[in-house]
Amino acid sequence: MTEEKEDTHIAIFNGRAIRRKLVENKWYFSIVDVIRALTNSIRPRKYWFDLKIKLAEEGSELSAKIGQLKFISVDGKSYLTDCADTEGIFRIIQSIPSKKAEPFKRWLAKVGYERIQEIENPELAQERMKKLYELKGYSKEWIEKRLRGIAIRQELTDEWKNRGIKQEIEFAILTNEISKATFGKTIEEYKQFKKLKRENLRDHMDDLELIFTMLGEAATTRIAKSKDVNGLEENKIAAKQGGEVAGNARKELEEKTGENVVTEDNFLGIPEKLKKKRNKMLENAEIISA
Average pLDDT (240-259) is 97
Domain ranges of the chain: 9-120, 129-289
In which band, very low, low, confident or very high, does the pLDDT at 113 lie, cut at 50, 70 and 90?
low
Q: Are 20 and 88 in contact (CB under 8 A)?
A: no
Q: Are 21 and 69 in contact (CB under 8 A)?
A: yes
Q: Indicate the angle between helix axes 207-227 and 140-162, nearest 10 degrees.
A: 20
Q: What's the pLDDT at 119? A: 52
| Model pTM above 0.75 | no
CB atoms within 10 A of CB 199: 13
Q: What's the pLDDT at 1? A: 53
Question: What pLDDT digit, counting tens, does each position of 46-80 carry?
Answer: 999 999 888 888 877 777 778 899 888 777 778 89
Q: Are 25 and 119 in contact (CB under 8 A)?
A: yes
Question: What pLDDT digit, counting tens, does each position of 22-42 carry?
Answer: 887 788 999 999 999 999 888
The alpha carbon of 33 is separated from its chain's Cα centroid by a whole number of angstroms, namely: 18
Q: Are 18 and 12 in contact (CB under 8 A)?
A: yes
Question: What pLDDT digit, counting tens, does each position of 264-287 carry?
Answer: 887 655 444 445 544 555 444 443
Average pLDDT (226-236) is 97
